[in-house]
Chains A and B, each alone.
Chain A
Amino acid sequence: MLRRMLMLSLVGAAALTAAPPVPAQAQQRVLRHDEAAPGRLDPSKVPDYAAAVLTMNIYDSLVEARPGGGVMPGLATSWTISDDGKQYSFTLRPGVKFHHGGTVTAEDVVFTLDRTLTLNAGYARLFKGVSVSGPEPMKVVFTLPEANASFLASLVRMPIVQKSTVMGNIKPGGPYGDKGDYAEAWLAANDAGSGAYRVTEHNPQDGSVLVKFPDYFQGFADKAPDMVRIRYGIEAATIRTLMSRKEFEITSQWIPVEIKRALAGMPGMKLVTEAGISYFIMSMNTRRAPTDDVNIRRAIAKAIDYDTLIGMTAIGPGQPGALPMHGALPSGFLGYDKSLPANARDVPGAKAAVAASKYAGNVPPIELSWVAEVPLEEKFSLLIQQNLAEVGIPATIVKTPWALLTQQVTKPETTPHMTQRFAIGPYPDPDALISQNESRFLGTTLKMDWFADSELDRMIPAARAITDEAKRQTLYIDIQKRLLDQRPSLVAFESVATFAKQDYVTAPNLDAPGKGAAAIGSNWLFRTYSVDRTQ
């Protein structure tokens, strides 16, 4: 009997190893990619990288982010701006087809803005107070509460939904009166767009399947993928294995540097980058000792070993993960100025600044917080702790889950002295990042420095109000000078997002550094990619 039981378990083991693997035979051109979870599909919901990639491919907006910077026509073929900068009139492109039939008209644009403002989530804040009318079927006019030069660029973040499809899928009894749930439930798993791809499967934690929409108005690259499969939240070791087996085409930027390095060394693979739109910023709490003293903040800025910090992100020689920073704007934005002083280590200067502070000789320890979900920040923290110790600023490292951080930053007393964050520009206008220094964002993770400065609160809206680019450039440089002087935060480097991809895939905006568009997701237009496994 004992022997029989043992035999049975052995037979069981044999049965497990006997089944042959099923070959995955792909007739179509497939592009497989991963992203951080959750990927949200509803274009009016939370903005994150995965959601941006989805909406950019499924939906169209009036204007699109132009590779190399600025915007270009999308659903709108042309536009005019009134002299006072408050009225934007767009002429729509005729005959653009929606996935569910019908064409894009002014009615859909009017409806989209109403839905965005009613749900009041995601990027709704950008369009607050804006009203819209459709005087003609192919003409829309936006009226702004005040002049806003960033409005045109921010339209990149207003994907147009089809009114009839959304209204046909409303669940009654929701919080929006006669609009029911405004199709929140339906749009969480389905699309109502006109983009190059339509969604056939979507699950925010598992994955999405996008399929080519052949009637798309801008057409496709010759060998554009017929199907795109995105998976969310897979481990790096898994992706590495899939890539080596050629069961995966292009990775996200979130896998660790070491894995990217290993992938770069494999035959048939290449690293591509997206630069110019994001940075790594450390905020310093200006309402707690000792970082309430500007001299301590200046000392911290001078103490950090930026070369080593940037070196930590490097994938290999000639493959930086970060670029030195001048001022407070990444290189892809208007207002970037290389003549602004670059971050540099200056130990004597840092020591002098500590000596000039009111805490000279007795600096209380600072909390150096890092986000538990981003392991790279632990390495940064260790280095910064060591750098600060050298200039006489004691620091303790605190690991904080994101949810806890969102709560801590609602009050100055609980906000850590130093916090770390990667930020990406959502639309191709400097206001997208610079406005995060306005005091209206106090108490959120966008502004963890508690620096309410009347100067900045005056300068930033002023720079937003004028349309003349040359004048704006000077104003943004002034704003950056103010930030560098008062040091509520420290933009440590411009980050370079790196992706590993198979050689048989081309991704135009990622393959050509410096040619990318300055908006999240805009370099991930799968219709411009090609997949050619025969090459």
Chain B
Amino acid sequence: MRRALHKFGRNPLSVVGLAIVGAILAGALLAPWITPYPQHAGGFVAIADASMPPSAAHWFGTDTVGRDVLTRTVFAFRMSLLLSVVVLVITVPVGVGAGLMAGYFQGWRETVIMRVTDVFLSMPPLVLALAIMGLMKPSLVNAMMAVAAMWWPWYARLAYNVTRQVATEGYVAAAEVVGAPAWHILLREILPNCAPPILTKVTLDFGFVILIASSLSFLGLGVQPPTPDLGSMVAEGARYLPDLWWLAIFPGLAILMAVVGFNLLGDGINDLLDLER
């Protein structure tokens, strides 16, 4: 463990990743105290200040109803992070678990799991989102369920194909020969060797979930205006390019920063796992 920490600390990039992620978390938590205009995070209108380019008073400019873009970007991390963390915490174990089982056991279990995956994959996100709105009241929880429902099959497919390959390695056969139980082989032998692609996908998905969530809030599901979320800020701001460039560019850079941070951190964790293996 100490060796691991030491190795992590020695890789400056992992430390940078950790710092970025830490800064984002701190910013999101402390948003009401560190932003210049906390009241702009909600429904606030100041038409006289609308659509102003970046200035000393508004570092990231103001939006089309006069709200401070910096404030809204920092606040947006709250919803966007919450959403992507919750979605990934649900989807990764479910998807990876299903994929591991299908890839390792094969036979009828493989057929059932992977074909159900195919059915789920075929459902367009918009249909799922609208159907959920038809059945229940639009809420953040429902939005997360909708995203999770369309997300897990990707992890299932990924884990499945990697497992098929890893399961052919000598150490798996060795464990089978000595009579290790299936769950042991799955969790101790196969899962760690599937980790790099899955971890990489997770770090990328922080960005993708933020973006897909914006297409749900377009329909009125998920994060609702006036509460800001990064994906919607980018998507709606893009309509004003290039004249009001600050509306889309700054939230976009914020997403980029988050994804780079998580990606660096993920690579660092990957190195650690490698050491354990």
Contact = CB atoms under 8 A, between A and B. Distances in A.
Nearest to B218: A372
A403 B129 CA distance: 13
Question: 8 tightest A-B contacts by CB?
Answer: A399-B220, A383-B45, A385-B43, A382-B45, A386-B45, A382-B43, A258-B240, A401-B219
18 contacts: A237-B238, A237-B241, A258-B51, A258-B243, A259-B239, A372-B220, A375-B236, A378-B225, A382-B43, A382-B44, A385-B43, A386-B43, A386-B44, A386-B45, A397-B225, A399-B217, A399-B225, A404-B134
Interface string A354-383: 000000000000000000100100110011
B226 A397 contact: yes
B168 to A, nearest CB: 25
A235 B220 CA distance: 21
Contacts of B244: 258
A414 to B, nearest CB: 11
Contacts of A404: 130, 133-134, 220
Contacts, number: 65
Interface in A238-294: 256, 258-259, 261-262
A259 B238 CA distance: 12
A372 B219 contact: yes
A379 B240 CA distance: 15
Given A237-B241, A258-B64, A312 B220 contact: no
A258 B241 CA distance: 9
A379 B64 contact: yes
A379 B45 CA distance: 8
Contacts of A259: 239-240
B217 to A, nearest CB: 8
A236 B237 CA distance: 12
A80 B116 CA distance: 69
Interface residues of A, number: 27
B142 interface: no
Nearest to A376: B64
A397 B43 contact: yes
Grouping DSSP codes into helix (H, G, I), strand (E, B) and loop, the B interface class, with mixed when no group exceeds half, is: loop
Nearest to B243: A262
Contacts of B226: 382, 397
Interface residues of B, number: 24
Interface string A404-421: 100100000000000000
Interface in B37-95: 43-45, 47, 51, 64-65
Interface of B: 43-45, 47, 51, 64-65, 130, 133-134, 217-220, 224-226, 236, 238-241, 243-244
Given A397-B226, A404-B133, A383 B65 contact: yes
Contacts of A397: 43, 224-226
Nearest to B126: A401
A237 B236 CA distance: 12
Given A308-B47, A372-B218, A256 B240 contact: yes
A205 interface: no
A235 B226 CA distance: 24
A398 B137 CA distance: 11
A404 B135 CA distance: 11
Contacts of A400: 220
Contacts of B45: 308, 379, 382-383, 386
A533 B136 CA distance: 56
A129 interface: no
Given A398-B224, A399-B220, A399-B224, A236 B134 contact: no
A29 B146 CA distance: 50
A311 interface: yes
Contacts of B236: 375
A311 B47 contact: yes
A113 to B, nearest CB: 38
Nearest to A400: B220
A372 B226 CA distance: 13
A375 B235 CA distance: 12
A379 B244 CA distance: 16
Nearest to B50: A312
A404 B136 CA distance: 12
Contacts of B47: 308, 311-312, 383
B239 A236 contact: yes
B62 to A, nearest CB: 13
Nearest to A308: B47
B220 A256 contact: no
Interface in A466-522: none
A434 B226 CA distance: 34
Q: Which among B43, B130, B133, B225 has the highest number of chain A CB atoms within 10 Å?
A: B43
Nearest to A311: B47
Nearest to A236: B239
Given A311-B47, A400-B220, A401-B130, 16 more contacts: A258-B64, A258-B244, A259-B239, A259-B240, A261-B243, A372-B218, A372-B219, A378-B225, A383-B47, A386-B44, A398-B224, A399-B224, A401-B220, A403-B130, A404-B130, A404-B134
A382 B224 contact: no
Contacts of B225: 378, 382, 397, 399
Contacts of B240: 256, 258-259
A399 B43 CA distance: 13
A401 B244 CA distance: 26
Contacts of B224: 397-399
A155 B243 CA distance: 45
A394 B243 CA distance: 35
